[in-house]
Structure 1
Amino acid sequence: MHAAPVCSAIPEAVLIAGPTASGKSALAMALAEKTGGVIVNADSMQVYADLRIITARPSQEEEARCTHRLFGHVDADSDYSVGRWTTDAAEVLAAIRAAGRLPIFVGGTGLYFRALTQGLAPVPPIPEEVRARIRLEAEADTAQVLHARLATRDPLTAFGLRPTDRQRILRALEVVEATGKPLAEWQAQAGAPLLDGGTSLRVVLEMDRDQLRARIDSRFQDMLRAGALDEVAVLMGRDLPPERTILKAHGVPALMRHLRGELDLACAAQEGQADTRRYAKRQQTWFRHQMPDWERHAPDTALPALLARFA
């Protein structure tokens, strides 16, 4: 299941990636309790304060068991970017190192891990007026139309994006409009990484597809029993702009449709489960192609393998 170790000395950091519902958080908690480490969030939805349940953020009881950073520190009325996460992660990492503790990055957002280990493209901030204009002009267009438009201005970036990935397509259009340079060119100028992959323990959790699908479906029902619907109702009450990232968290659009009377709860749950399963499949594809040199472990055998590296 696992590849050859990528570092022989005691790791300076541990990076735990994996698809949603694969047991990453439980593994990070167990490792932190054994090593005195600090868990740092590397999931783009768990940064938001408004949705603890539906994003599977650690509970208050879990956060009390060991130190957590970059969880729930962003308001829903913000679009949190990989650039902002990298800045925040650099500050947290410096503090953890100064305290002599082990940083344990855990999450399912591949772009965060890539920025952490490979550096981030130095894209200048996009002026708000440019962002607003691009998004206003795009309101009447489908993602596929926007993708075709991007292909004429930044074909390399367009080639690497799914034609349905509206948010990233818009981001690429904003960059080329504001800077006059395609996003692909900026990404080729990545800065220094925050961590040296050769001295970090990098792990991807893998499990049987049918087992993962069953865990995703079961966890979604657990979320509903824990109050996810009420959580989404409160978020709807904020009347946020429809383009806000948090409104696209997996399961949220379906539950919002139920709250608007467009779906019964059973259908909304099925839609949310299916959306989450599709996301897990995309994550697995990313990890397979973008992280080929990371160790692979099954969730139930990962902890002993990781602890052996600290013996």
Structure 2
Amino acid sequence: MSPLTETGVGRPAAILIAGPTASGKSALALALASGFGGTVVNTDSMQVYADLRRLSARPMPDEESRAPHRLYGTVDGAVNYSVGAFSREAGGILGEIEAEGRLPIFVGGTGLYFRALEEGLSNLPTVPEAVREAVRGRAEGRCTEDLHAELASLDPAGAQTLRPSDRMRVMRAIEVFEATGRPIADFQGQRRAGPLAGRPLLRFFLSVDRDELRRRIDARFVSMLEEGALDEVEALRARRLDPMLPVMRAHGVPGLIAHLDGTISRDEAIARGQGDTRRYAKRQHTWFRHQMGDDWIWTDPDSAFRIAVERLSAPGGR
């Protein structure tokens, strides 16, 4: 069966390009957007932050000039940007892109963002900022296992579903209980459909040889530093933001801050950033393999481009 037959004939409402970091996603998205009147929409939880263009491998200005790009560098690092915020913004942007007659191309490495586009989200309540700050204040200086024990006293069933080491999710469950007086599970069964639910889609996961991906990751991290990533982290460090914020936990940031603080060498910071990124790439691969459906095409960037061109050039395509 040919790739064209496997993916179904007809015009896709959008193209989804996922894959591990350094797999060639952005280049593929830009090539398709340039050739077929597309708009590239960021689907990566770190590239949304304005503070880290270099370290998050955001498209550069010359690349952004070749096709419209949305949701890149639009959020300040002090904001705890969430998958819910992404889903809401992506839905609005999707309507604008379609009104312009352009092809939406969602590209990134954050699996939960892609899931939200189709399957939607649990209808979790908004936690007031005062409650969030109070929970974080109590958590400061406490180990995650202690926080997990606190959650178990509030929501025993919810605590059993979370690893005692998963600090962010444990704190989120505490926040929801503090804000509503109800377990987080009460809300997780209530879902609202995602903005791409029920639409014909062309979905790619870029799979690259493991040794080649490792080489790319290591080389790119060094290039990032040569191109100004350390200056970005130094500016971020000067802001003295909450270390639990997503931007402060971006791959490379903790190690480079430690280097700026004088506690580790530059080479040690590079090795730490490279190692963190390699491990993240492995988790991305595993997550998509087990969490997403069979309608994703696992392939290399060149084959993905060929398949997409076939679909978009076919009768009824663009």
TM over 0.5: yes
Q: For residues 273 and 224 of structure 1, what CA distance do their matches in structure 2 show?
A: 12
Give the residue type in structure 2 aligned to 1:250: H
Are positions 1:91 and 2:92 aligned together?
Answer: yes
Q: For residues 203 and 122 of structure 1, what CA distance do their matches in structure 2 show?
A: 28
Q: List runs of 5+ in structure 2 lacking aligned partners.
A: 314-318
C-alpha spacing 1:17/1:270, structure 2 compared with 1 (3 Å): same
Q: For residues 63 and 176 of structure 1, what CA distance do their matches in structure 2 show?
A: 42
C-alpha spacing 1:195/1:137, structure 2 compared with 1 (3 Å): same
Shift of 1:34: 1.1
Matches within 5 A, 1:300-311: 300-311=302-313
Q: List runs of 5+ in structure 1 lacking aligned partners.
A: none
Aligned equivalent of 2:316: none
Give the residue type in structure 1 aligned to 2:100: A
Give the residue type in structure 1 aligned to 2:99: A
1:114-150 CA-partner distances (Å, limit 9, x unpaired): 1110011222210122111211111132223334544
Q: For residues 289 and 164 of structure 1, what CA distance do their matches in structure 2 show?
A: 22
Give the residue type in structure 2 aligned to 1:55: S
Larger CA Rg, structure 1 vs 2:
2
Q: For residues 58 and 270 of structure 1, what CA distance do their matches in structure 2 show?
A: 24
Aligned equivalent of 1:144: 145
Give the residue type in structure 1 aligned to 2:79: S
Indicate conservation of the 8 Å contact 1:122/1:186, yes or no. yes
Shift of 1:169: 2.4
- SS of the residue corresponding to residue 53 of structure 2 reads coil
Of the structure 1 ranges 208-217 and 94-103, higher mean CA displacement relative to structure 2 is found in 208-217
Aligned equivalent of 1:183: 184
1:203-252 CA-partner distances (Å, limit 9, x unpaired): 11112222211111111011011111111111112222222221111000
- SS of the residue corresponding to residue 301 of structure 1 reads helix
Indicate conservation of the 8 Å contact 1:3/1:296, yes or no. no
C-alpha spacing 1:31/1:288, structure 2 compared with 1 (3 Å): same
Structure 1 counterpart of 2:297, from 292, 295, 298: 295
Aligned equivalent of 1:11: 12
Q: For residues 282 and 154 of structure 1, what CA distance do their matches in structure 2 show?
A: 29
Q: How many residues align?
A: 311
Matches within 5 A, 1:43-82: 43-82=44-83
Shift of 1:6: 4.4
Matches within 5 A, 1:1-311: 5-150=6-151, 153-154=154-155, 158=159, 161-196=162-197, 199-293=200-294, 294-311=296-313
C-alpha spacing 1:157/1:114, structure 2 compared with 1 (3 Å): farther
Indicate conservation of the 8 Å contact 2:158/2:185, yes or no. yes
Post-superposition, which runs of at least 4 consecutive aligned residues in structure 1 deviate over 3 A? 2-7, 147-165
1:263-303 CA-partner distances (Å, limit 9, x unpaired): 11000000011111111111111101111321111123211
Indicate conservation of the 8 Å contact 1:150/1:172, yes or no. yes
- Normalised to the residue count of structure 2, the TM-score between the two structures is 0.91
- SS of the residue corresponding to residue 107 of structure 2 reads strand
Q: For residues 209 and 299 of structure 1, what CA distance do their matches in structure 2 show?
A: 15
- SS of the residue corresponding to residue 173 of structure 1 reads helix
Of all paired residues, the percent bearing the same amino acid is 54
C-alpha spacing 1:241/1:66, structure 2 compared with 1 (3 Å): same
Indicate conservation of the 8 Å contact 1:47/1:72, yes or no. yes
Give the residue type in structure 1 aligned to 2:311: R
Indicate conservation of the 8 Å contact 1:7/1:200, yes or no. no
Give the residue type in structure 1 aligned to 2:70: R
Indicate conservation of the 8 Å contact 1:37/1:103, yes or no. yes
- SS of the residue corresponding to residue 9 of structure 1 reads coil
